[in-house]
Amino acid sequence: MIGCLIGEVFALEAPTVLLNVNGVGYEVDTPLSTFCQLQKGQSVTLWTHLTVREDAQLLYGFLQPQEKTIFRTLLKVNGVGPKMALGILSTLSIELLIHTVENEDLNTLIKVPGVGKKTAERLMIELRDRFKTLANTSTAANSTNTQIQFSSNSPVAEAEAALQSLGYKPAEAQKMVSAVKADFTECADIIRAALKSMMK
């Protein structure tokens, strides 16, 4: 089991990070809360979860160990796969997710792409007890203003691609980005603002 990777960010293409670990490049999918804090050339430790399928071995990485714990907890919920778990962690901070579950706030959960009413209700039931032990030690996962370097695409295009990777439809992603792009020049800021606008 690969528990963590320590290396240098070689390339960024939302939501995937290419991490150079002693000359070996690992492709790691991340929630946007982690992705938006990374810069090309940055030395970083990513706490990882490995998923082995018949056709692929997939790595998921997180800057905070607790985020990895929450991710694994989400995967234990019936009907929740890695993509949905990443979408939840990209849309909601750890604190907000725990608060949402404790207060049975279905409306907030339903705003996450791919989470319908039935899935939200199942999340509430299965996560309530598990989150009680995490509530006191939770930290906001998306609290940095670190800017991020992208390659060829424009910040707007990168933001739209990142939102689509979460499960938003192209038209939805375009609408979300269009509503906030005039106020920001960096992709990370556009993504954060777009996700924040969905929570209103």
Cis peptide before 15 (omega within 30 of 0): yes
Res 133: pLDDT: 57
Could you tell me which of 44, 54, 94 has the C-alpha nearest to residue 73?
A: 94
How much is the pLDDT for 10?
96
- Whole-prediction pTM: 0.71
Rounded Cα gap, residues 23 and 164, in angstroms = 31
> Residue 60 pairs with which residues in a beta bridge?
29, 49
Q: Which among 13, 23, 46 is positioned nearest to 152, based on CA atoms?
A: 13
CB 28 within 8 A of CB 2: no
Q: Which residue has the tokens 């939840």?
A: 88
For residue 152, give the DSSP letter.
S
38-82 pLDDT tens trace: 999 999 999 999 998 888 899 999 999 989 999 999 998 888 999
Q: What pLDDT was estimated at residue 92?
A: 86
Asked whether the predicted pLDDT for residue 135 surpasses 80, the reply is no
pLDDT of residue 70: 92
Identity at 82, one-letter amino acid code? P
Predicted local distance difference test score (pLDDT) of residue 200? 64
Banded pLDDT at 147 (limits 50, 70, 90): very low
Q: Which residue, chain included where needed, has tokens 């293409």?
A: 13
* Greater pLDDT, 154 or 37: 37
Distances (CA, A) of 80 to 73, 129, 152: 10, 17, 33
The C-alpha atoms of residue 91 and residue 14 are separated, in whole angstroms, by: 14
Residue 57 three-state SS: strand
CA-wise closest residue to 62 among 87, 32, 23, 102? 32
pLDDT tens-digit map of 2-27: 899 999 999 998 889 999 999 999 99
**Segment 80-121, tens digit of pLDDT:** 999 999 989 988 888 888 888 888 888 888 888 888 888 888
The two counts, helices (H) then strands (E), for the chain are: 9, 5
Report which of residues 200 and 148 the model is more confident about: 200
pLDDT at residue 145, as a whole number:
33
- The candidate with the shortest Cα–Cα distance to 131, out of 105, 108, 104, 101, is 101
What's the angle, vertex CA 62, arms to CA 186 and CA 132, rounded to 5? 115
- The structural domains of the chain, ordered by start, are 4-62 (2.40.50.140), 65-137 (1.10.150.20), 155-198 (1.10.8)
Mean pLDDT value across residues 122-138: 71
Q: What is the pLDDT confidence band of residue 199, given thresholds at 50, 70 and 90?
A: low
